[in-house]
Chains A and B, each alone.
Chain A
Amino acid sequence: MTGWVFMLPFAVLFILVFLIPIIVSVRSSLFAQQPAGEGLYGGGELVDTFVGFDNFALAIGSSSFWRGMGRVVLYAAVQIPTMIIAALVLALLLDSFIVRRPAFFRLASFLPFAIPGIIAAMIWLYLYTPEVSPFMQYLPDGVDLMAPGTVLLSMGNMTTWTYTGYNMLIFLAALQAVPGELYEAARLDGANGWQIATKVKIPLVRGAALLAVLLSIIGTIQLFNEPVIMESANPWMGKDFTPMMLTYNSLLGAISPSGSGIASAYSLLMAFIAGILAIGYALLQRRKGDAA
């Protein structure tokens, strides 16, 4: 029972912050905020009305939800592999005795992670703005980093800049936990540096890679900071550019249909899709691992 006493403070907060919100969102997704109807045009005060699965029907039938989801999935499909491969290459380079003092490079690549996402997005927004940017003038004429065709890539660059160093440290930690004798044995068997990296080191960090990709998938589904900042300068993006923006703006009433009911339905739908993508990826990796 002593165990529960130590567990209790965390458990109380966990229930308050994780479990109750899930129950609240399920309950709230079954209600809509509809006018009471005593006004002249059916207006009047908003009251919670039980609507069953209407909110889910609305959410599933919402083309802006799926457009946003499509953008986020496309974004993830390009950004996550780019970032994970870059992080892996950097970790292998720092683990290979190419430089005497890896500490400097390690710190430099991790520095962007210390910058809040919203501030990083503000910085990059200015870096993409032609009049202020220190490098836009050197790009070919007509390159617009915030046009419909490029804005996803530009945001992908922001996330890559912020999180590559973080993922690199995860890989580096996994690499450095490998006993050096393993490399000596590979060396004695006649393996060269490239073979050691591809045949010994990369398979050894597979667990870390799985974790990094899962966390990235979950992070990307909730993409919010970067598109909000980009939208503040590019109104064409709209208030529903990503599902998280759609949810937030529906809750605030900036988008119709609005209210906590539909916002909760969007949230649950996103959690469901994130779960499917994460589980699907994990199963895929496990099968690949078994085959290898």
Chain B
Amino acid sequence: MSATTTDRSAARRARASASGAPSTAVAPKPMARALGITALIVATVYFLAPVFWVFVASTKNNRDLTSTFGFWFGEWNLGTNYESLMAWTQGMFWHWVGNSVFYSLTAGVIGTLFAVMAGYAIAKFAFPGKKIAVGVIMAGLLMPVALLTVPLYLEFHTLGLVDTAWAIIIPSAVSPFGVFLGMVYAQNSVPTELLEAARIDGAGESRIFFTIVLRLLGPAMVTIFLFIFVATWNNFLLPLLMVSSQDLKPVTLGLFGMMSYFAPNKGAVMLGALLGVIPLIALFFSLQRYWRSGLAAGAVKG
């Protein structure tokens, strides 16, 4: 319910504001409007200036970084910075980015599938222990995850999983938030009559799930995938504890090591930071409407 209502009311408002005559909301007075616009511009500069600075800094050498105006370009050293980034990371930089893509993608796909399966089960089936399962998963939503990381390390150490890709993928693939979202979507957008009709037609449960339900849950799946993907890419403590081989490092860990063990060319570090987040930002902007529906579900239900 929440997601569709939000979309509809957002669309209605978008129309209202496009015509320039908001009928339902309050048309602000000129003074209020000027203040509001000023505040928004100040906030936007605050949010964007560091990002722009990273872009500028990644083209500068250390001398220009200290001597030229910070928010504009100096001598163009992007090529040199790229070379020193590669040299300092011993050619591992793109390998690390590749690792981040691999971990985030795998955790995202597995985590999304498992989360919607669980959400669907909770929304559409009665089974023994369901109330307990729901309670435990919802408690997991508020669990301080970093605090689990140390015992998780001890557990994975016993299992012999430390310093393998699994040590990053398995913990990242478990998303109580994904189950919550899957449950809300399944309740609202999978009609029980449709399931019953399919059962009467003789379709098995797994066939119903994979051919009908997954299609209906598409938007929820994109949202859950995004949340897991970004959380995996951004995680730092987990790979810091779990992974020590250069070969297995995600880009966040690689950049941290590069920065903390050398006194490097700062422009090169900023170039690394920039290149390490570009894939994420691209994904982020191309799928931004799914973010909003995911947050809306959390906001309205919470």
| Distance to closest chain A CB from B78 (angstroms) | 17
**Known pairs A177-B2, A222-B146; A114 contacts B230 (CB<8 A):** yes
**CB-CB nearest in chain B for A269:** B147
Is B292 part of the contact surface with A, judged by Cβ < 8 Å? yes
B70 touches A6 (CB 8 A): no
**CB-CB nearest in chain A for B276:** A119
A111 touches B47 (CB 8 A): yes
Contacts of B256 in A (CB 8 A): 118, 122, 229
B147 touches A270 (CB 8 A): yes
Contacts of A253 in B (CB 8 A): none
B150 touches A267 (CB 8 A): yes
Is A81 part of the contact surface with B, judged by Cβ < 8 Å? no
Contacts of B273 in A (CB 8 A): 119, 122-123
Q: Which segment, of A57-65, A148-156, A181-189, faces chain B?
A: A181-189
Residue tally, chain B, CB below 8 Å to A: 112
- Give 1 or 0 for each of A120-158: 1 = CB within 8 Å of chain B CB: 001110110001111100000000000000000000000
**CB-CB nearest in chain A for B121:** A6
Choose from B9, B241, B295 the contact partner of A248 (Cβ within 8 Å). Answer: B241
- Give 1 or 0 for each of B141-175: 1 = CB within 8 Å of chain A CB: 01111111011111100000000000000110110
B25 touches A7 (CB 8 A): no
B292 touches A173 (CB 8 A): yes
Is A40 part of the contact surface with B, judged by Cβ < 8 Å? no
Residue tally, chain A, CB below 8 Å to B: 108
Contacts of A225 in B (CB 8 A): 236-237
Is A169 part of the contact surface with B, judged by Cβ < 8 Å? yes
A99 touches B291 (CB 8 A): no
Choose from B9, B121, B230 the contact partner of A177 (Cβ within 8 Å). Answer: B9
Report which residue of A86, A173, A174 has the largest number of chain B beta carbons within 10 angstroms of its beta carbon. Answer: A173
A-B contact pairs, 29 of them (CB 8 A): A1-B127, A6-B121, A7-B117, A9-B118, A13-B170, A14-B136, A17-B174, A18-B140, A19-B136, A24-B151, A95-B25, A97-B28, A98-B32, A98-B37, A105-B44, A114-B277, A116-B233, A116-B234, A123-B270, A124-B50, A126-B57, A126-B266, A177-B2, A177-B296, A183-B25, A214-B142, A263-B150, A267-B150, A267-B151
Residues in B lying within 8 Å of A, measured CB to CB = 2, 5-6, 9-10, 12-13, 16-18, 20, 22-29, 32-33, 36-37, 39-40, 43-44, 46-48, 50-51, 53-54, 57, 65-66, 69-71, 113-115, 117-118, 120-122, 124-130, 133, 136-137, 140, 142-148, 150-155, 170-171, 173-174, 176, 179, 205, 209, 230, 233-237, 240-241, 252, 255-256, 259-260, 266, 269-270, 273, 276-277, 280-281, 284-285, 288, 291-292, 295-296, 298-300, 302
